[in-house]
Structure 1
Amino acid sequence: MLKRNLAELSVADGKLYRDAMARYAGHVQLVTTAFNGERRGLAVTAACSVSDSPPTVLVCLNHHNEKNRIFFESGIFALNSLAFHHQALSHAFSGLEKLTMDERFGHGNWDTLVTGAPALVDAIATYDCRVVNMIPQSTHTIVVGEVAALRLGGQNPALVYMDRSYRTL
């Protein structure tokens, strides 16, 4: 009989859950938006495709962070998929360095596509989206966006985050 390392998860044990999720590989993306002359961007792995008809993606954002309100008010966002050479850029947008938004955006070359959300010029892919649904769930809001424009960049190795470090495929 195989021995299993089993831990019962209580509702209050977020650390155990976070440790388990650290083993989950996720493509690193920068989610960005702009509204009333302000820009915001975050490094995330909680983003994925929803549908190809119409092209739709989602991103999960912490709604307890007051600074994320701009994502819920702007009605737009861009998902910028990062390549392995974007590690420093991801770190700048992670919040760990306590950089201002202007300092974060100073680390990349940015333009806009259709919606006005900041688009990383050399991203593997940029999904420029209009928000079509927001679903509050626990500490986060699932923001669903219909892709209004798409830009494909170079076919560089993807930047992946797993076991609390960067990796590539």
Structure 2
Amino acid sequence: MFSIETGIGERFKAAFRRHPTGVAVIAAAGPGGPAGLTASSVASVSADPPALSFSVLGSRSARAVLGAPSFTVNLLGPRHVGLARDFARSGGPRFTAGQGWDMLPTGEPILVGAMAGLRCAPLRLVPVGESTVVIASVLEVLLGPPDGRLVHHDREFFTSIDEPSTDEGI
């Protein structure tokens, strides 16, 4: 596969920086211990059967998640903005007791107090350029407190946004 540089790649990234998204930490038990990363690409794929998707680049944490037979997708609320930042950069503190991590009986790391924790197993790994799109079956859903909003927008995390619109035509 090859690409011709036309400037569209930079414009594509700029377009998606303008698109606010929710924030999750995806975590797995890796060969060297727990591994995890912040993701803003998590999306619902199907309710029956329950499935979701996300994409990752080739970082060490991403390789651990991609190689795991199961992992958790921890949907974050506003009190987890620091944790989201820690897992978004290399060298940040990870899986500390103060962050609220525990282990499920099945071995995956779970963030106690996340708005939701979804235990998943990969269905398909689809390489696309430098990324891998993961389509995963949701095996278990653990609901936490409905904690408000944490949104990623233009390379920043926001914990407060306008109230939802009451317009029904959208």
Q: Say whether the fold is shared (TM-score over 0.5).
A: yes
Report the Cα offset of residue 13 of structure 1: 4.6
Match of 1:121 in 2: 112
Match of 2:81 in 1: 87
Fraction of identical pairs, as percent: 28
User: What TM-score, normalized to structure 1?
Assistant: 0.83
The structure-2 alpha-carbon separation of the partners of 1:120 and 1:66, relative to structure 1 and needing over 3 Å to count, comes to: closer
Q: For 1:165 and 1:28, locate their aligned partners in 2 and report how far apart those are by CA, in whole Å.
A: 11
Report the Cα offset of residue 37 of structure 1: 4.8
Report the Cα offset of residue 142 of structure 1: 0.9
- Structure 1 residue runs of 5 or longer lacking an equivalent are 1-9
Report the Cα offset of residue 70 of structure 1: 1.3
The structure-2 alpha-carbon separation of the partners of 1:80 and 1:67, relative to structure 1 and needing over 3 Å to count, comes to: closer
The structure-2 alpha-carbon separation of the partners of 1:42 and 1:66, relative to structure 1 and needing over 3 Å to count, comes to: closer
- SS at 2:63's partner residue? helix
How many positions carry a matched residue from both structures?
156
The reply on whether 1:135 has 2:134 as its aligned counterpart is no
Q: Which moved more, 1:145-154 or 1:110-119?
A: 110-119
- SS at 2:56's partner residue? strand
Alignment equivalent of 1:104, drawn from 88, 94, 105:
94
Alignment equivalent of 1:36, drawn from 31, 36, 53:
31
User: What TM-score, normalized to structure 2?
Assistant: 0.82
Aligned alpha-carbon RMSD (Å)? 2.0
Match of 2:140 in 1: 149
Alignment equivalent of 2:63, drawn from 58, 64, 69:
69
Q: Do 1:114 and 1:128's aligned partners in 2 also have CA atoms closer than 8 Å?
A: no
- Structure 2 residue runs of 5 or longer lacking an equivalent are 162-170
Q: Do 2:113 and 2:145's aligned partners in 1 also have CA atoms closer than 8 Å?
A: yes
- SS at 2:148's partner residue? coil
Match of 2:166 in 1: none
